[in-house]
Chain A
Amino acid sequence: MTDRQPGFSTLAIHAGAQPDPTTGARATPIYQTTSFVFNDADHAASLFGLQAFGNIYTRIGNPTNAVLEERVAALEGGTAALAVASGHAAQVVALQMLLKPGDEFIAARKLYGGSINQFSHAFKSFGWNVVWADTDDIASFERAVTPHTKAIFIESIANPGGTVTDIEAIAAVARKAGVPLIVDNTLASPYLIRPIDHGADIVLHSLTKFLGGHGNSIGGIIVDAGTFDWSKDGKYPILSEPRPEYHGIRLQETFGNFAFAIACRVLALRDLGPALSPFNAFMILTGIETLPLRMQKHCDNAKAIAEWLAVHPAVAAVNYAGLAGDKYNNLARKYCPKGAGAVFTISLKGGYDAGVKLVSKLQLFSHLANVGDTRSLVIHPASTTHSQLDDAQKTKSGAGPDVVRLSIGIEDKEDLIADLEQALA
């Protein structure tokens, strides 16, 4: 059965992990160590020179983290991955390999509020200039392309509105512009959408959300699709030109179709430092083993609750791509037929005050700033995650003042509906 391709659930459990060769431990051990001894001076030199595969120091790589990396790479259909301390760290590490001061990247306006902040302020201070475009208007991405554009950044399912992005249409713009398409796949997880199958060159995740899934560990990951030719036109010198840090090696020439993941590890992670704790990697790995089961239940619950809310007299609108008649339902049917995720927004007829009242009256839904937990969560984005945006940005990113965001957990849906019913009464 060597050439039989394993299915998604098999990969979610096995990819990257094997019994420990020395102890036989079946679960992945937590290699809670900063450093690894060398065989001899020559072995050390080979590792530092990237000539051998192996472990040096946990800021650069760790065997527990490596299992997580290989597993997510396999689930996404990528060639390699690099786990880092958070989703935000994944974004800074990945973009640092592509942009230099004065360069631009195009980003979808509908994004996680934290990403909008990071791009607008922190990245601006690095001289990386974000140019916003609208996923409802593909031509706005084409118009935004300039000779300084180095990447296009979108979310597969956008936070907080739960809108589904036409990845293939934007991948076509990226191909024409000769730049990589980066897709944040956090809200879909590879169980619902595999962006690489639709033309993404790099996939990012906040592992904190559905992949880890239990609300206990922060983490992020960068997946290299192995599809982009970094050396074709000199636009990505970090990958195509000799690296002085490594005595003049050229990363793409040396590492081929996993060069981007290696660059992120041996340059950006090594030098910027946002390493993931092996303990967090272990927690996230354990979560991933049940991703297919959890994600389906999240989606089934979300659809049932969205349908119930859609006909509730206190609710003005439900923005959930899984609802028939939703603006994004056709895209959801195309890109995520198993379900449209579990994060969506509602707006209440009673406006801001009704939103505040709903959040305070809910008993099972936790009021907090996260999504993708086993528990159901609720937040008022305008006063929290998106509070640092101005009103126009809030509305454009789907977080207007009357909007409440729900992240539906995997409790019994009848209990969640009963909780919403009493809170809306």
Chain B
Amino acid sequence: MNHDTYSDIYVREILNGVKTIAMVGASPVNVRPSYFAFKYLAERGYDMIPINPGQVGRSLAGKPFVASLRDIDRLIDMVDIFRNSDAAAAVVDDALALNPLPKVIWMQLGVRNDAAAAKAEAAGIKVVMNRCPKIEYGRLSSEISWMGVNSRTLSAKRAPIPTGSFQRMSLNRASISGGSTGAADRAAQDKPK
């Protein structure tokens, strides 16, 4: 499939369909993007597992680090890769050795490995590359709009309210495409890798 753009339906289905997310390359340092994304997703009810061989014995937001995908004792729905594009290949190989296979392999903003993605897709796994699940959740729920960010969605429907807390918006919000960001998308593609 085309990995330059993803439809909102595709991304929303993924974020709605997964429960357990293993984040490879999660950092315990509270100013790193992986820490931000891990904590945000954990707060939204995902069962988050931090993977980082250098951090075993420590924990992130109360979740103990494990060394690799092979060391996880429960079913994983999604593998979120916070490593560079080259290193993503080996992580995908590890994910393909899992039984049962994960449903989704997600590579973070700036991470793209088309060969590894093709391998995963051949095994029936859905792939997202060069996106952040925190930003996508914030965008599709419209939480990110509170920061003045163009969510690229429009909606004339009242969104459901998540229970139990406030300043939260639901991922299950009816929306259609909104204002596009073509110049930013082109700049990202032209950026020297």
Report A's interface with B, CB cutoff 8 A. Answer: 1-6, 10-11, 14-16, 18-22, 24, 36, 38-39, 43, 46-47, 49-55, 61, 63, 65-67, 69-70, 73-75, 77-83, 196-197, 225-229, 242, 246-250, 253-254, 256-258, 261-262, 265
Which 3 A-B pairs rank lowest in CB-CB distance, beginning with the nearest?
A74-B179, A226-B184, A69-B148
Report B's interface with A, CB cutoff 8 A. Answer: 7-9, 30-31, 33, 35-36, 39-40, 43, 109-110, 132, 135, 138, 142-152, 154-161, 165-167, 169, 173, 176-184, 186-188, 191
A242 to B154, CA, bound (A): 35
On chain B, the residues within 8 Å of A75 by CB distance are 179
State whether A21 touches B182 (Cβ < 8 A). Answer: no
On chain A, the residues within 8 Å of B159 by CB distance are 18-19, 21
On chain B, the residues within 8 Å of A229 by CB distance are 187, 191
A7 to B79, CA, bound (A): 37
Pick the residue among A2, A10, A63, A66 that contacts B8 (CB under 8 A): A2
State whether A196 touches B183 (Cβ < 8 A). Answer: yes
Contact status of A53 and B143, CB under 8 A, knowing A5-B177, A225-B183: yes
State whether A54 touches B149 (Cβ < 8 A). Answer: no
A75 to B152, CA, bound (A): 11
State whether B149 touches A70 (Cβ < 8 A). Answer: yes
Pick the residue among A3, A81, A242, A257 that contacts B187 (CB under 8 A): A257
State whether A4 touches B176 (Cβ < 8 A). Answer: yes
Contact status of A66 and B160, CB under 8 A, knowing A6-B154, A18-B142, A257-B187: no
A10 to B9, CA, bound (A): 21
Pick the residue among B40, B148, B188 that contacts A51 (CB under 8 A): B40
Contact status of A77 and B183, CB under 8 A, knowing A16-B145, A19-B158, A256-B109: yes
Pick the residue among B110, B156, B181 that contacts A14 (CB under 8 A): B156
State whether A242 touches B43 (Cβ < 8 A). Answer: no
On chain A, the residues within 8 Å of B145 by CB distance are 16, 66-67, 70
A257 to B8, CA, bound (A): 19
On chain A, the residues within 8 Å of B40 by CB distance are 46, 51-52
On chain A, the residues within 8 Å of B148 by CB distance are 61, 65-66, 69-70, 73, 80-83, 261, 265
A52 to B186, CA, bound (A): 28
On chain B, the residues within 8 Å of A5 by CB distance are 177, 180
State whether B167 touches A78 (Cβ < 8 A). Answer: no
A196 to B156, CA, bound (A): 27
Closest-by-CB residue of B relative to A46 is B39
State whether A43 touches B165 (Cβ < 8 A). Answer: yes
Q: How far does the Cβ of B136 sit from chain A's closest Cβ, in whole Å? A: 12
Q: How far does the Cβ of A190 sit from chain B's closest Cβ, in whole Å? A: 10
State whether A254 touches B179 (Cβ < 8 A). Answer: no
A84 to B79, CA, bound (A): 40
Q: How far does the Cβ of B44 sit from chain A's closest Cβ, in whole Å? A: 10
Q: How far does the Cβ of A243 sit from chain B's closest Cβ, in whole Å? A: 9
A83 to B149, CA, bound (A): 12
A1 to B180, CA, bound (A): 15
On chain A, the residues within 8 Å of B155 by CB distance are 14, 18-19
State whether B178 touches A74 (Cβ < 8 A). Answer: yes
State whether A39 touches B178 (Cβ < 8 A). Answer: no
A250 to B7, CA, bound (A): 29
On chain B, the residues within 8 Å of A11 by CB distance are 154, 178-179
State whether B31 touches A248 (Cβ < 8 A). Answer: yes
CB pairs A–B below 8 angstroms (15 shown): A11-B178, A14-B178, A15-B179, A70-B149, A73-B150, A73-B179, A77-B179, A78-B150, A79-B181, A80-B147, A226-B184, A227-B184, A247-B31, A256-B132, A257-B187
A229 to B188, CA, bound (A): 9
Most chain-B CB neighbours within 10 Å: which of A1, A24, A61, A226?
A: A226
On chain A, the residues within 8 Å of B181 by CB distance are 77-79, 226, 257
A229 to B186, CA, bound (A): 12
Closest-by-CB residue of B relative to A50 is B36
A228 to B181, CA, bound (A): 13
Pick the residue among B109, B146, B165, B186 that contacts A63 (CB under 8 A): B146
Closest-by-CB residue of A relative to B155 is A18
On chain B, the residues within 8 Å of A227 by CB distance are 183-184, 186-187
Closest-by-CB residue of B relative to A74 is B179
A158 to B122, CA, bound (A): 56
State whether A2 touches B176 (Cβ < 8 A). Answer: yes
State whether A61 touches B146 (Cβ < 8 A). Answer: yes
State whether B147 touches A61 (Cβ < 8 A). Answer: yes
Q: How far does the Cβ of A80 sit from chain B's closest Cβ, in whole Å? A: 4
